[in-house]
Chain A
Amino acid sequence: MNTALLRQKAQLLRRLIMLSIAEAGSGHPGGSLSLAEIMSYLYFFQAQLHASDVNWPERDRIILSKGHAAPVLYAALAAKGYISEEETLTLRKLGSRLQGHPDMRKLPGVEMSTGSLGQGLSVANGLALGLRLQGKPNKVYVVLGDGELQEGQVWEAAMTAAHYRLANLTAVVDYNGLQIDGHTAAVKRVEPLAEKWQSFGWKTVTVDGHSFADLYRGFHTERNGYPLVVIARTVKGKGVDYMEGVADWHGKAPTLEQARQFVLALEAI
């Protein structure tokens, strides 16, 4: 694992997230930024993907269940070279392939259209069941938000994955502790997370979602034939000092000037 490369990619994702959301004038920076290391790790290390063929049949599948973090997904697709960096600036614009929430029919590389929270894990289960049924070795990764865990369908799906022993499925929870209305603990408590997943029949591991070494450890946890959930402790807005840990930046765009300042600061490092 080339940690320096992954770190560099994570910063590239942050740059594209800030620029694209600022250009759009709306979007969700907080929960996109908290995923930068996780998406860098998935797209540049963990998942088997083709360098140039986004629809490579043998690829692993990554589903972004928390679809409002679309900017980090588009940034990852751009970082992989599947789309151009320039195209990320069309985010949320009329006629763009980069819809406010990911649309698989518009943009290749989007494995599933998401946005209405709570639905991605069920879809990931179906994909994992289908791949297994056909004897395919591909893995399925699904990224959930911690606030999203308040949706009941997640727990229906959690039962299904354990019941069918989906060992080819890994869920990642972006545990940043914030949602639109404030602290997740104050809005509606989702803790204890690991115990919940465990009691639903999953293998669980808690990691630092901004540490590549810790992500590696988490994703390589012995699962003994069960689905694995990587509970990744993250900081919402990570990497942009004034956004870190501030719920207001869940769904508010930075100004173009703020985005430019951020890019300049990155370049200065």
Chain B
Amino acid sequence: MSIKPEATRDAYGRALLTLGETRPDVVVLDADLSKSTKTAAFAARYPERFFNIGIAEADLMGTACGLALAELKPFASTFAIFATGRAYDQVRNSITYPRLPVVIAATHAGLTVGPDGGSHQSIEDIALMRVLPGMQVWVPADGEEAYQMIIAAASVMSGPVYVRLGRQPVPRVVPEGYVFTPGKACILSEGAPVAVIACGVMVAAALEAARMLKTEGIYCQVINMSSIKPLDTELLRAVAATSELLVTAEEHLVAGGLGSACAEALAVEKTRPPLVMMGVEDCFGQSGEAHELLEAYELTAEHIAAKVRVHWNNIVRD
């Protein structure tokens, strides 16, 4: 178990080495990005089970399908922008429509790709993947959770899984003894009446925001909603029933992401607290360091705290 900050893509690389040893049916495919996606270590140790498909993401996804048909367990990796955008039709028609158990482990997701800029920052991948019937969508908050997700994904035989991984190191946020379960969210810090629901790198920011707000007497609970599909609607409803303000936070477009998924699930509730969605508004990203981008797009702990403060004060005033 790693305590020091670790990028979720590095945890993916670690998990693949474990699977290489424990699961002879696991095969890994990449599209000329193995050093970046961290599949290179698996490739070096298990060269016969690694297939570099070159710069050809459509072919990458299709080849993974064939390996699944041969009853192997394929992990297909490239950057999230290419996995979900470039190869969308292959993911839809060749992977998801026939429910093939391909794991799409996509790295460099979100704004925190950084200097590569807007062309490479996938801020719509959660939206694209979660609308596909039967596709599971998981977003780890730290290295430990990413490791567990990859191990768990290797045992999903009912259909495909999309795992959204990041480039930047993130601090450990899941508790000691945490076990990832698809469809289950995790409450990281208890304390109504405000609930911040986050995924990925925003979980650490949400925890920091909660600490800041606590000193002001505003108590937040932080929920790591790492399984975006299936969504933990049971926990979500319970949290909504006991909270007065809900805030979602993600390094993804507000449209179609975690916030949208929560809003869809809660829309039917007769009484529910206001839901404030934090994410990238209707625009693309740009070049910059990861921390600069989170600052520029108002997705830091300070921004979450400020957003909660404003809305909380409105509620109290009412």
B99: min CB distance to chain A, Å: 6
For B65-98 the 0/1 string (1 means CB < 8 A from A) is 1111111101000000000000001101110011
Residues on B with C-beta less than 8 A from A88 are none
B76: min CB distance to chain A, Å: 10
- Given A104-B98, A126-B70, A130-B70: A164 touches B51 (CB 8 Å cut-off): yes
A135: min CB distance to chain B, Å: 11
How big is the B interface, by class? 20 to 34
Say if the beta carbon of A246 comes within 8 Å of chain B: no
Q: A113, B93: Cβ atoms under 8 Å?
A: yes
Q: Which of A25-33, A149-157, A234-242 contacts B (4 or more CB under 8 A)?
A: A149-157
- Given A105-B99, A113-B98: A130 touches B54 (CB 8 Å cut-off): no
Q: A111, B69: Cβ atoms under 8 Å?
A: yes
Contact of A126 among B58, B67, B89, B93 (CB under 8 A): B67
**Measured CA separation A163–B56 after assembly (Å):** 13
Secondary structure dominating the interface of A: helix
Q: B69, A126: Cβ atoms under 8 Å?
A: yes
Say if the beta carbon of A22 comes within 8 Å of chain B: no
A73: min CB distance to chain B, Å: 15
Chain B residue at smallest Cβ distance from A153: B58
Residues on A with C-beta less than 8 A from B48 are 133
Say if the beta carbon of A23 comes within 8 Å of chain B: no
Q: Across the A-B interface, how many residue pairs have beta carbons closer than 8 Å? A: 109
Say if the beta carbon of A69 comes within 8 Å of chain B: no
Count of A residues near B, CB < 8 Å? 33
A64: min CB distance to chain B, Å: 13
Q: A123, B27: Cβ atoms under 8 Å?
A: no
Residues on A with C-beta less than 8 A from B99 are 105
A179: min CB distance to chain B, Å: 19
Q: B69, A130: Cβ atoms under 8 Å?
A: yes
Q: A129, B51: Cβ atoms under 8 Å?
A: yes
- Given A119-B90, A160-B54: A126 touches B62 (CB 8 Å cut-off): yes
**Measured CA separation A124–B66 after assembly (Å):** 6
**Measured CA separation A219–B65 after assembly (Å):** 25
Contact of A122 among B49, B58, B74 (CB under 8 A): B58
Q: A130, B66: Cβ atoms under 8 Å?
A: yes
**Measured CA separation A262–B172 after assembly (Å):** 71
Residues on B with C-beta less than 8 A from A199 are none
- Residue ranges of A at the interface with B (Cβ–Cβ < 8 Å): 61, 103-105, 111-113, 115-116, 118-131, 133-134, 152-153, 156-157, 159-160, 163-164
- Residue ranges of B at the interface with A (Cβ–Cβ < 8 Å): 27, 48-49, 51, 53-54, 56, 58-59, 61-72, 74, 89-90, 92-94, 97-99
Given contacts A130-B72, A152-B58, 9 further A-B contacts (CB under 8 A): A112-B66, A122-B59, A122-B94, A123-B65, A123-B94, A126-B65, A133-B49, A153-B90, A160-B59
